[in-house]
Amino acid sequence: MTGKRRKLIGVTVMELLISSGLFLLLTTALLSLFLNSIEAWTQVEDRTGLISQTERMFSRVIRELESSNSATVEFTSAPFIFSFASPFPLESATGGDSFEVLPATGALQWNKYLVFYHDPEERTLEVNELEIPTGSPARSTPLPISAVDFGGGPEPLSEYGQGGRIWVRDVESASVAQTGRTYQFEILLKTGERSAEFIRSVLTHN
């Protein structure tokens, strides 16, 4: 009787060990699946957040560039710098919700230049906003920014690709291609190992 009881107890302990091992393996597999699902969901959320941030900020460029004239557009690809004249007032003035026309001709009055550029070291897109001086020919004539005198004489576009404020973060690269009056922007956003590409085309008014 004692031998049989020990044998039964031994088998029960062995079965318990096997069951515990199988349960541990199953738990580990389920936990790994759960963590992978969380990581995948986080990647989608991060990608969506990056695109939403850029979409929100880019809506301003679309509105102002659509009201611009292609004759005022000037850009370089390496480094990425993109500039154009806008009929909207400075953002700090009236919020940029309306623009003016010249009373004599009814043509748009150009009030400022917007300069967007990529800082590869900081991985940001930054913006400069420059008010066109009163009395400048650029107020009535669509000119590229490199032909405008802001007080120290005309300067090349590259001089305006610095000293601005951050517009979009986590920007790995930025480029623009021109077809007539249409400009296609491609912006690669990246956070850690997660990336998203933002592509938009904008048609200027003239």
Q: For residue range 118-174, list pLDDT tens digits in order.
A: 999 999 999 999 999 999 999 999 999 999 999 999 999 999 999 999 988 889 999
Higher-confidence residue of 123 and 29: namely: 123
Does pLDDT of 97 surpass 80? no
d(CA 179, CA 105): 29
Note whether residue 123 is domain-resident.
yes
Instruction: State pTM to two decimals.
Output: 0.74
Does pLDDT of 9 surpass 60? no
pLDDT at residue 93 in the model? 47
Q: What is the total count of domains within the chain?
A: 1
Note whether residue 193 is domain-resident.
yes
Note whether residue 21 is domain-resident.
no
d(CA 126, CA 168): 7
Does residue 79 have a cis peptide bond before it, meaning omega lies within 30 degrees of 0?
yes
**How does DSSP classify residue 133?**
P
The conformational region for residue 188 under phi > 0 = left, psi -120 to 50 = alpha, else beta, is: beta
pLDDT at residue 175 in the model? 94
Range of the domain at 196: 58-203
Note whether residue 101 is domain-resident.
yes
Note whether residue 37 is domain-resident.
no
